[in-house]
Amino acid sequence: MNDRPSSVLAETGHAGPYEPRYGLGPDELRSLYHRETQATRRQEARPGLWIAVAIYLLFSATDLLLIPDVAAYTIAARFAVGVTALLTFEVQLRRGVGTDWLDVTCAAAIIFGYVGWLCPAVLSADKETVSYYMVFGTIFMMGANLFFTFRFNLSIVTSAIILCILYAVNYFVPSTLTYKMVLGIFYISCFIFTSYVNWKLNEERYNVFLNALEAKIQHNEATERGKALLRLSRTDPLTGLENRRAIDEKLRDYWSDWQRVGTSFGAILIDVDFFKKFNDCYGHQEGDRCLILVANALSDMIKQYDGSIGRYGGEEFIVLARMEKKDQIMDLAEAICRTVEGLAITHELRRDGVSIVTASVGAAFTRKQTAAKLEKIIHEADRALYLAKASGRNCARLFDPTDPQSSDESENLAALLKIAIGQGLVSLVYQPIQDVASGKVEAMEALMRLKMLDGTLVPPSLFIPVAERTGAILELGRWAIRTVCTEMLLDDHVRVVSVNVSPIQLKTPGFAASVATILGETGVTGNRLAFEITEGLEMEMHSDILRCISDLKLLGIKIWLDDFGTGFAGLSWLRLIDFDTVKIDRSFLHDCGEPKGMAMLQDIIALVRNRGHQILVEGVETDQQLALMHEIGIDKIQGYRVGRPAPAASFQAKRALHKRPFTMLKSA
């Protein structure tokens, strides 16, 4: 059925024959009815004719009884007409003749059946019996009107012919006028009555058809509506791509194919770089437009790879593709990067020197492993994505199980970090910071240490990124500040302690308040703390971060910029935030052996000094470097030459020995 009727029905929503709700005119509707009912009529015609012929032949017995003198002829006529009708019908059926022609054959069989019997019957000598026997002609009329399911016109024509024959015979067969009148009235009543019932039956059938049609339309409509709803529930409304729910289902299919028949596949996570910044700068409408452009470009390119693409979250997309080798998935991941780059959507306000929208891409490939789980591949792609971001974005990374940053090792670390504080696996060591002019230890930097359950130390370069990624840094950070206050500041071991704080902490709502609580609880004043901020992965300077920094300053806490010169954002951060001290990364000092390196260090120092910040140089290891710091007039220094990081207890012991607070302390 076409979908026109359903749509029109939906508009009008009420029933009644010949209504335009079906999207068809009365004639079209009738012809549809005839087309639709042809199959049933065809099915019913065959047994109908066979039964009719059988009964017709059985009446041979009454011929023998009532008109024995011509019975031989009437019976012969019965057989001739019956057999001819059945043969014609069967041949037509086999040749696939239309139902209307089959009906004509049946109608002709009725007429010839009556005429065929009548002709020899009227020759009987017993005219009176013939005149009674003739009345059976009305059975033929009933047959045309009620027994077969002819179209109404054909029934009327057939029964009318029978009526005419009856009248003709009634007229010629000798009998009384009364008899002729009674029979004439009987014939005409029979004709009217059977035709009327036939007409009613036809109407009834037609109404049944209309009801069935309506039910069908409603069913189709409900099915269509269901399909549309299903589509809607699986589609991302903004980009038109599959949404997370749909793509998760696909992922299950890919996964079960891999488990069952080993069809390997890759999962690729795509994250639009600095998208929040894009939204902030150009507005949400432009942000949406950007996502749509990226989505369209990616879904066009994915078509060549027999893959599936979906929107996984805000600015994150996911691609699944069946591939045989790792290299292929890496090629696809690279192609995705280039496709987004190729769109050249302007993004002027990024802070990494790139001025267009790009994407970071993390890919993972199915690999045999014990206790393989469906979520694992997404988890691995996520880790690869993290590495892509850490590698400066606009690049693709494939999950490498042997890489400690992305391996199960980091999974273990994440688990370890969760229990670290409770199990006493985490501790702080302090590295002295010397004032160059006075030669005194003016401050200490608190550095976090983590040991595994077996006592092995894990370097911060490994566990800090994991803690940042998993969010464990929030609790660890609060713990570090509290510990610094209680084990270093309360006993006046040193005037100021600097604590490393990750941008993730600064971005978290309520961080400044939690610091204020710690200060309140420990009774330490804010000016005894400095927070070191490193431009790390989260180099976008969120307004949240700026707000948090100003809250911290209100508490009296100093803000230092750590590892200056190693990231992209340092300069713009210098412009935005009034840092108390800028710590120049040790790599600049270590490159000083070369004239170029020396010039670089001097330039950086000049730049920071011009902005009025205090300067601290990290990584002072030798006497020469110390002398150089004096020469250049650096404010503060830190490094192995001054002192290595050591636990608080070692400073407490030394202080007890010297009874001199705030002097230069060298750890063993």
Cβ nearer to Mg ion, comparing 487 with 618: 618
State the nearest-atom distance from the C-beta of 404 to Mg ion, in Å: 22
Report the site for Mg ion in 577-636 (rule: CB under 5 A). Answer: 618
**Toward ligand C2E, which CB reaches closer, 100 or 621?**
621
| Tokens of residue 60, six digits | 């041979």
- In the complex, minimum distance from the CB of residue 379 to ligand C2E, in angstroms, rounded to a whole number: 24
103 is in the binding site of which of Mg ion, ligand C2E, none (Cβ under 5 to 8 A by kind)? none
Kindly tell me which of 5 and 639 has the beta carbon lying closer to ligand C2E: 639
Strand partners, 426: 450
Strand ranges, E, within 152-260 = none
Q: What is the total count of residues that contact Mg ion (CB under 5 A)?
A: 5
Positions in the binding site for ligand C2E (CB under 6 A): 431, 447-448, 459-461, 464, 480, 500-502, 532, 534, 562-563, 586, 619, 621, 638-640, 645
Q: How far apart are CA 34 and CA 18, in angstroms?
A: 15
User: Strands, DSSP E only, in 299-398?
Assistant: 307-313, 316-322, 359-365, 396-398
Rounded to a whole number of angstroms, the minimum distance from the CB of residue 624 to ligand C2E is 13
Q: What is the residue type of 645?
A: P
The residue among 493, 437, 420, 422 whose CA lies nearest residue 647 is 493
User: Does 103 sit near Mg ion (CB under 5 A)?
Assistant: no
State the Cα–Cα distance between residues 559 and 551, nearest whole angstrom. 11
Does 271 interact with Mg ion (rule: CB under 5 A)?
Answer: no
Nearest approach in angstroms of CB 668 to ligand C2E is: 15
| Contact assessment for residue 398 and residue 333, using Cβ atoms and an 8 Å cutoff | yes
Q: Scanning residues 211 to 240, which ones bind Mg ion (CB under 5 A)?
A: none
Tokens 């452009």: give the residue.
293
When asked if residue 431 is in the footprint of Mg ion (CB under 5 A), the reply is no
Q: Which of 444, 445, 440, 434 is nearest to 629 (CA)?
A: 434
In degrees and rounded to multiples of 5, residue 532 shows phi and psi of -95, 125
Closer CB to ligand C2E, 63 or 563, in the complex = 563
> Could you tell me the CA-to-CA distances from 411 to 120, 371, 386, 466 in Å, in that order?
105, 15, 14, 8
Residue 198 or 431 having the CB closest to ligand C2E? 431
For 448-469, letters b (16+ CB in 10 Å) and e give: bbbbeeeeeebeeeebbbbbbb
How far CA 247 is from CA of 230, 306, 308, 377, 511, in Å, comes to 14, 14, 8, 14, 36
b/e for 634-651, b at 16 or more Cβ within 10 A? bbbbbbebbbebbebeeb
Burial group, residue 14, by CB count within 10 angstroms (0-12, 13-18, 19+)? exposed
* Contact criterion met (CB below 8 Å) for 150 and 194: no
Quote the DSSP letter at residue 346. B
- Of 89 and 511, nearer to Mg ion (C-beta) is 511
Phi, psi of 422 (to 5 degrees): -60, -35
Binding mask 496-525 for Mg ion (x = CB under 5 A): ----x-------------------------
CB of 563 to Mg ion, least distance (A): 4
Dig out the tokens for 212 from the structure.
């069935």
- According to DSSP H, which parts of 578-642 are helical? 586-590, 595-610, 623-632
Concatenated DSSP letters for 551-585?
HHHHTT-EEEEEEETSSSSHHHHHHHS--SEEEEP
Assess 532 for contact with Mg ion (CB under 5 A).
yes
Cα–Cα distance between 651 and 492 in angstroms, integer? Answer: 11
Nearer to ligand C2E, 242 or 562 (CB): 562
Write the DSSP assignment of 390-439 as a string of letters: HTTSSSEEE--TT-TTTSHHHHHHHHHHHHHTTTT-EEEEEEEEEETTT-
CB of 320 to ligand C2E, least distance (A): 36
Binding-site partner at residue 448 among ligand C2E, Mg ion, none, CB < 5 to 8 Å by type: ligand C2E
State in angstroms the smallest separation of the CB of 270 from ligand C2E. Answer: 28
**What minimum distance in Å lies between the beta carbon of 619 and ligand C2E?**
4
CB of 564 to Mg ion, least distance (A): 9
Enter the DSSP assignment of 21. Answer: G
Q: Which CB sits closer to ligand C2E, 597 or 645?
A: 645
- Known catalytic membership, residue 618: no
Please answer whether residues 309 and 242 qualify as being in contact, where contact means their C-beta atoms are separated by less than 8 angstroms.
yes
Instruction: Give whichever of 464 and 539 is closer to ligand C2E, judged by the CB atom.
Output: 464
Q: In whole angstroms, how close is the CB of 455 to ligand C2E at the nearest point?
A: 18
Per partner kind, with CB cut-offs from 5 to 8 A, the member of Mg ion, ligand C2E, none near residue 236 is none
Would you say 266 or 565 has its CB closer to ligand C2E?
Answer: 565
Judged by CB under 5 A, the residue of 236, 388, 563, 567 near Mg ion is 563
3-state class (DSSP) for residue 135: helix
Choose the binding region for Mg ion from 78-86, 492-500, 550-558, 639-647 (rule: CB under 5 A).
492-500
* Bridge partners for 561 per DSSP: 533, 582
Q: Which of 63, 380, 468, 562 binds Mg ion (CB under 5 A)?
A: 562
Binding partner at 581 among Mg ion, ligand C2E, none, C-beta below 5 to 8 Å by kind: none
Closer to ligand C2E by CB, 42 or 644: give it: 644
* Residue 145 host element (H or E): none
CA angle 646, 654, 429 (to 5 degrees): 15
**Residue 353: φ, ψ to 5°:** 85, -10
Q: How far is the CB of 238 from ligand C2E (least distance, A)?
A: 36
Candidate list 315, 535, 540, 618, residue with the active-site label: 315
The footprint of Mg ion (CB under 5 A) covers 500, 532, 562-563, 618
List the catalytic residues.
Answer: 315
